A and B are shown apart, each in its own frame.
Chain A
């Protein structure tokens, strides 16, 4: 179970020229793990996430998710990105209800689950609001409720809190950790923020600059439950951060030099 990435590569052809975005990746993610991908822009970390989501095909190799080969849009994951994926033309409640409606869940069950998740992400009282009427942080909560309401086994998150300010980001990290600690879903979390990766994940994967490949995989031996507001002041955090930074910094410098 979990996610198994086997010999996956990604090459793009644009204007008749082939470029390699991701070179030979092998990676095993166990069920219930919280894994973060970090790396410089263009290292292919989002591409790998999108391949697990099944919205970008791999050029070679294959990806197994919960024992099944990912061939097209992976319906067993919740997918959340930096951009607002909630539909602006529906209210908060309708957005959260949408996946259940699509999956033909019964009306009573739907109502119960929508109310449950709106409560858990702190959006009660905003059911009838449109996304445009909400703050950025609240829209993220809607997106979070929307992917959790249909109970996928895995969450794929691509810099979900990238557009938020620093305080709100910590707040959302705390919410996410709380949810992960209670549901124990597998989480793959892409970020360019190393501190965020260390704060959240039990394992961090560092990617090299373009063409991307895995440079380092590091376990984060910080005990859960973690408090995102405080964990960064622990001495172990600093040591882990420094070690990962040593791997990451030259890759970022390489990207800047081009």
Chain B
């Protein structure tokens, strides 16, 4: 009986808050605060230097300035232009991500479970993977036109490989002991897939998904650079042609902010799904 109580103590279920615990929490809080303050200061420093340098050290034609970029973004927001372009970019990114990741996931599991299929296709997959996906963009424009479909295709093709390769690696990585014991307790192949392979590969898959979201955005924007009539990539490309650096920076800032927001959201999803890792 006493051993059981000790075991319970070992995992902290009977822990009572002590002064040391309170001090630890306070220390953690102080550290978080210091990081936050540091981040804000770095941001202010970058904007200040940029603003100061513009027109004094470097021609505003090249680097614009934070105040101009801010004004431009504000104008785009109130006129609805920002959302008009951003929405199409986000839409193409989301669809490309959804298609690329689900197809990549299915193929990753399939190849991971059937070694012979994987061995047969291996050289072709490697070859296609080695092609920079950007080089496929012109082809996709010929196939799918200058509308949203070609942007979806570019981002889907990039996302596919990232998710496929991660899912494949995750599926190969499954502990055979789990497979055996699940089979012995009566599990069918489908049960093993559902209760063992997919959850086991999940951390690899989630890593793949996390990495591929920014890639999906990149794919869409590249598609928009090449030919489009809407989207943030289109705005940047058009402004570049007009030497309108303020709009170029406004577009870049928008992409940066969107990318950061998506990353934070994904981090939360990851923490929730991989809670078992403790």
Contact = CB atoms under 8 A, between A and B. Distances in A.
Interface of A: 53-55, 73-75, 77-81, 83, 85, 87-91, 98-99, 102-103, 122, 125, 129-135, 137-138, 146-147, 150, 167-168, 171
B177 A83 contact: yes
Contacts of A74: 184
Contact of A102 (B3, B177, B185): B185
A-B pairs, top 4 by smallest CB distance, nearest first, are A132-B278, A99-B185, A73-B183, A89-B199
A88 B185 contact: no
- Consensus secondary structure, chain B interface: helix
B40 interface: no
Nearest to B178: A87
Given A85-B177, A132-B276, 18 more contacts: A53-B180, A55-B184, A74-B184, A78-B184, A79-B184, A89-B199, A98-B182, A98-B195, A102-B188, A103-B186, A122-B4, A135-B10, A137-B7, A138-B11, A150-B185, A150-B186, A167-B3, A171-B3
B147 interface: no
A98 B188 CA distance: 13
B195 A87 contact: yes
A138 B7 CA distance: 8
Nearest to B198: A89
Interface centre among B7, B10, B182, B196 (most CB of A within 10 A): B7
Contacts of A102: 182, 185-188, 191, 195
29 contacts: A55-B180, A55-B184, A74-B184, A75-B185, A77-B184, A78-B185, A79-B180, A81-B177, A85-B181, A87-B196, A87-B199, A89-B199, A89-B200, A90-B195, A90-B199, A98-B195, A102-B182, A102-B191, A102-B195, A125-B13, A130-B275, A130-B276, A133-B278, A134-B11, A135-B7, A135-B10, A138-B11, A150-B185, A167-B3
Nearest to A143: B181
Contacts, number: 84
Interface residues on B, range: 20 to 34
Nearest to A75: B186
Interface in B54-88: none
Given A75-B185, A81-B177, A132-B278, A168 B3 contact: yes
Given A132-B277, A137-B7, A138-B7, A98 B185 contact: yes
B197 to A, nearest CB: 11
Contacts of A73: 180, 183-184
Contacts of B10: 135
Contact of A99 (B7, B11, B186, B196): B186
Contacts of B278: 130, 132-133
B187 A79 contact: no
B99 interface: no
Given A85-B177, A98-B195, A75 B184 contact: yes
Interface in B181-213: 181-188, 191, 195-196, 199-200, 202
Nearest to B191: A102
Given A83-B177, A171-B3, A54 B184 contact: yes
Nearest to A50: B180
Interface string B170-184: 000001011011111
Contacts of B195: 87, 90, 98, 102
Interface centre among A54, A90, A98, A132 (most CB of B within 10 A): A98
B181 A79 contact: yes
Contacts of B200: 89
A176 to B, nearest CB: 15
Interface string B1-18: 001100100110100000
Contacts of A131: 276
Contacts of A130: 275-276, 278
Contacts of A99: 185-186
Interface string B242-275: 0000000000000000000000000000000001
A87 B7 CA distance: 20
Contacts of B185: 75, 78-79, 98-99, 102-103, 146-147, 150
